[in-house]
Each structure stands twice: as structure tokens, then as C-alpha cells.
Amino acid sequence: MMEKQNITLSLSKDVLRRVKVLAAEQDTSVTAIMERLLSEYATHHEGYRQARQDHMALLRSGFDLGTEGAPSWTREELHER
């Protein structure tokens, strides 16, 4: 079992009341709901961070356009009508 640590939260009375009712309806606890929500939040943002890092690394490495750094066409040729 993972080690737990207590924290203090300050929630509006209305939100806490509503969450307690939902927890009771789902036969769970407010703690279990908070742990699940916070875990999902962390997983989502960690995934986003990793995807961003991967994308930035790809951009830094550049793309092979087959030109070896010197295009064989001019701007005018590309925009001819």
C-alpha cells in the first residue's frame, strides 16, 4: 500500500456538502474522490508535458526536406501562375 499523507483543504460549504452526498451515493469517501481526481489531473498534465518535450525535441532536430539545406527552386517559381 502506498504511504498516505494528510493535507488540509479549504472548500466552500456548498461544494463539500454536494461532494459528501455524491460520495455517499457512490459508496465511497470524499478522500477517494479527491485522490482519483488529483491523480487524473496529474496524469493528464504529465502526459501533456512529455508530449510537448517530445515535440520540441523533434522541432529542434529539424526535418529532412530532401534539399540538403539548399532548395532547388526559387520563390518566384513556387508562386508562378
What is the value of pTM for the model shown? 0.61
Residues in CB range of 33: below 8 A, 6 or more apart: 19, 22, 23, 26
Most confident residue range from 38-42, 45-49, 73-77: 38-42
The pLDDT, as a whole number, for residue 2 is: 85
The pLDDT, as a whole number, for residue 40 is: 96
Tens-place pLDDT, residues 2-38:
899 999 999 999 999 999 999 999 999 999 999 999 9
Residue 20 in any domain: the answer is no
Residue 46 in any domain: the answer is yes
Count of structural domains, the chain: 1
Domain with 52 in it:
26-58
Mean pLDDT computed over 47-63:
90
**DSSP tag of 70:** S
Give CA–CA dist 72/77, Å, rounded.
10
The pLDDT, as a whole number, for residue 63 is: 81
- Give the HSE-up count for residue 65: Cα atoms under 13 Å, Cβ half-sphere: 7
Residue 44 in any domain: the answer is yes
Residue 53 in any domain: the answer is yes
